[in-house]
């Protein structure tokens, strides 16, 4: 495809050059329609049995995006007290929040207990600590409910750093330690209300996830009277869409998932609430970053387009070697991809690893162009930093009626000074 942003009318008729002029660059731009579409899709993964999609908010915690998730009726996963507070602020009630911390001190578990938020414990020691917190707070036995995260011994993902299940990752309780879970729950009169897993992030082939679900449901049989079983997130999105990469096959996935669930429900005797935890799928494709090309050069035969989109703005390429498609805009129009030339799109950070797109075939860029980086809604702003003392980017939302609304102001140097 020549252009994703033209194909989906990403800016809904607004001129990106005007948006960039008004709000400055680098700028995260979100499209509300895409956001709602993806959130709706994940809410429909299981329709035959009780099910909720829990948006994993670490992918993007902008409060306006959380409010859209609230309206779309999906629940949320939080990894920290900060994320829980953000969800409260967005209007989420406690029973629509699931807390999945790892390696935390008692204060975070006490916070969750006091606020009545279901928590999953990531290790035997954390489960023990949770039990101690229940004792200290004199929580009545019927309220001593929690979940445990099981490491299913298998993983999947777009790169090794995001594989979270499997024998070599830090997450979850190993299957062989399950008997010890029951020793701890007996000691503190805890009830295991749910179990969860998460095998990794950004896979496009559903098979490893389906295998993991099958395996997990086998494990689930060891737990009596589960209220929920949570299969984790990780559904991928087509980061190579300009090369016509296909979407995650959601419909096919749903069809193949159903008989696995049927089989389990028959054996278990009832259907608990099933959950999944998509982060990336909900938000990634709903955002682009607009950045300005400030300088181009040729160094020893290599072409560089120097932009204001450094690794402080989008860290995924330097952290995971991730691919993000790039479109080039001149005077608000997308340049055609008929004639492409190999260039390196880089940022303005003093690091040689500050590369957004390496040796990439793109229309020849020149100073003043806008680089438009696709699929930046997940692990984009939420992972950005102030490295090189560069204030963090602003964010705008193209609303469903085509208006441009600022949803986060640009950070200022004064904001950075305030902590001293």
Ligand X SMILES: *Cc1c(COP(=O)(O)O)cnc(C)c1O
Catalytic amino acids?
350
CB of 171 to ligand X, least distance (A): 8
Compare residues 76 and 334 and give the one whose CB is closer to ligand X: 76
**Interface pick for ligand X out of 42, 59, 289, 313 (rule CB under 6 A):** 59
Closer residue to ligand X in complex, CB, 79/137: 79
Number of residues that bind ligand X (CB under 6 A): 17
CA pair distance 6, 23, nearest whole angstrom: 21
Query: Which residues make beta-bridge pairs with 191?
Result: 145
Q: Give the single-character DSSP code of 202.
A: -
Distances (CA, A) of 158 to 5, 72, 151, 316, 393: 24, 28, 19, 12, 26
> Interaction with ligand X in 145-184: which residues (CB under 6 A)?
none
Cβ 122 to ligand X shortest distance, Å: 9
Whether 381 and 327 have beta carbons less than 8 Å apart is answered as: no
Least distance CB 374 / ligand X (angstroms): 17
Q: Which is nearer to ligand X, 36 or 337 (CB)?
A: 36
Nearer residue to ligand X within complex by CB, 219 or 404: 219
State both tokens at 139.
Answer: 């929580």
Residue 278 CA, chain-centre distance (Å), reads 7
- The pair of structure tokens assigned to 75 is 């629940």
365-376 b/e (C-beta count within 10 Å ≥ 16 → b): beeebbbbbbbb
Q: In whole angstroms, give the CA distance from residue 255 to residue 276.
A: 16
CB of 343 to ligand X, least distance (A): 30
Site for ligand X in 79-108 (CB under 6 A): 100
- Give the binding range for ligand X (CB under 6 A) out of 54-62, 219-227, 288-296, 343-351: 54-62
- Measured CA to CA, the distance from residue 369 to residue 328 in angstroms comes to 7
Here the tokens at position 330 are 């001149």
**Can residue 277 be called a binding residue for ligand X (CB under 6 A)?**
yes
Q: Which stretch binds ligand X (CB under 6 A): 131-139, 278-286, 306-314, 399-407?
A: 278-286
Q: Which of residues 369-398 bind ligand X (CB under 6 A)?
A: 378
Looking from the CA of 280 toward its CB, the CA atoms found within 13 Å total 22
Q: Quick one: which segment of 6-14, 274-282, 305-313, 330-338 binds ligand X (CB under 6 A)?
A: 274-282
- 3-state SS class at 35: helix
Q: Using CB under 6 A, which residues numbered 279 to 338 contact ligand X?
A: 279-281
Least Å distance, CB 59 to ligand X, is 5
Please give the structure tokens belonging to residue 272.
């608990």
> Any idea what DSSP says for residue 79?
S
Q: Are 262 and 271 in contact (CB under 8 A)?
A: no
| Under rule CB under 6 A, residue 253 binds ligand X | no
Residues in contact with ligand X, shown as a per-residue x/- string from 340 to 359 under the rule CB under 6 A: --------------------
Whichever of 280 and 324 has its CB closer to ligand X, that residue is: 280
58 counts as binding ligand X under rule CB under 6 A: yes
Report the C-alpha gap between 369 and 294 in whole angstroms.
8
Question: From residue 199 to residue 238, what is the string marking binding to ligand X with x (rule CB under 6 A)?
Answer: --xx-----------------------------xxx----
The minimum distance between CB 202 and ligand X, in angstroms, equals 6
Using rule CB under 6 A, residue 119 touches ligand X: no
Give whichever of 102 and 344 is closer to ligand X, judged by the CB atom. Answer: 102
Name the token pair of 129: 């600590």
H or E element in which residue 264 lies? helix 250-268
Give the Å distances, CA to CA, from 76 to 54, 73, 86, 269.
4, 10, 11, 28
Contact of 312 with 390, CB cutoff 8 Å: yes
Nearer of residues 36 and 364 to ligand X, judged by Cβ: 36
Determine which residue in the list 153, 238, 272, 278 makes contact with ligand X, applying CB under 6 A. 278
Of residues 144, 198, 275, 360, which one binds ligand X by CB under 6 A? Answer: 198
Of 265 and 383, which CB lies nearer to ligand X in the complex structure? 383
Question: Count of CB atoms within 10 A of residue 145's CB?
Answer: 17
Tell me the C-alpha distance between 57 and 77, whole Å. 6
Chain residues that interact with ligand X, rule: CB under 6 A: 56, 58-59, 77, 100, 198, 201-202, 232-234, 277-281, 378
């Amino acid at each position: 495809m020549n252009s994703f942003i033209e194909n989906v009318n990403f800016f809904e008729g607004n001129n990106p050059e005007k948006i960039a002029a008004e709000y400055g660059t680098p700028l995260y731009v979100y499209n509300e329609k895409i956001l709602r579409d993806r959130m709706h899709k994940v809410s429909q993964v299981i329709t035959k049995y009780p099910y909720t999609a829990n948006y994993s908010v670490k992918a993007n915690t902008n409060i306006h995006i959380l409010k859209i998730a609230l309206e779309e009726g999906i629940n949320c996963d939080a990894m920290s007290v900060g994320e829980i507070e953000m969800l409260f602020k967005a209007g989420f009630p406690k029973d629509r929040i699931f807390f999945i911390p790892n390696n935390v001190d008692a204060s975070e578990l006490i916070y969750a207990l006091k606020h009545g938020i279901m928590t999953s414990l990531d290790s035997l020691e954390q489960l023990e600590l949770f039990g101690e917190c229940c004792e200290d707070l004199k929580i009545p036995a019927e309220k001593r409910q929690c979940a445990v995260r099981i490491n299913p011994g298998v993983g999947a993902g777009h790169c090794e750093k995001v594989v979270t299940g499997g024998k070599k990752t830090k997450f979850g309780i190993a299957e062989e330690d399950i008997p010890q879970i029951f020793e701890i729950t007996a000691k503190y009169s805890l009830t295991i209300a749910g179990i969860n897993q998460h095998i990794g992030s950004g896979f496009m082939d559903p098979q490893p996830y389906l295998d993991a679900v099958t395996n997990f449901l086998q494990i689930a049989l060891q737990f009596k009277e589960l209220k929920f079983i949570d299969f984790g997130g990780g559904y991928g999105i087509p980061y190579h869409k300009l090369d016509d990469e296909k979407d995650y096959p959601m419909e096919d996935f749903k069809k193949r998932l159903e008989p696995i669930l049927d089989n389990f429900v028959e054996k278990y005797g009832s259907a608990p609430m099933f959950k999944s935890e998509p982060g990336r799928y909900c938000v990634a494709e709903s955002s682009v970053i607009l950045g300005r090309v400030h300088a181009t050069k040729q160094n020893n035969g290599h072409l560089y387009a120097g932009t204001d989109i450094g690794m402080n703005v989008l860290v995924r390429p330097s952290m995971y070697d991730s691919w993000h498609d790039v479109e080039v805009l001149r005077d608000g129009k997308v340049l055609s991809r008929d004639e492409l030339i190999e260039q390196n799109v880089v940022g303005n950070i003093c690091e040689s690893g500050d590369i957004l797109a390496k040796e990439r075939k793109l229309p020849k860029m020149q100073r003043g162009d806008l680089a438009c980086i696709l699929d930046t809604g997940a692990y984009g702003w939420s992972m950005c930093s102030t490295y090189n003392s560069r204030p963090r980017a602003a964010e705008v939302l193209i609303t469903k009626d085509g208006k441009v609304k600022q949803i986060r102001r640009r950070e200022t140097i004064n904001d950075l000074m305030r902590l001293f």
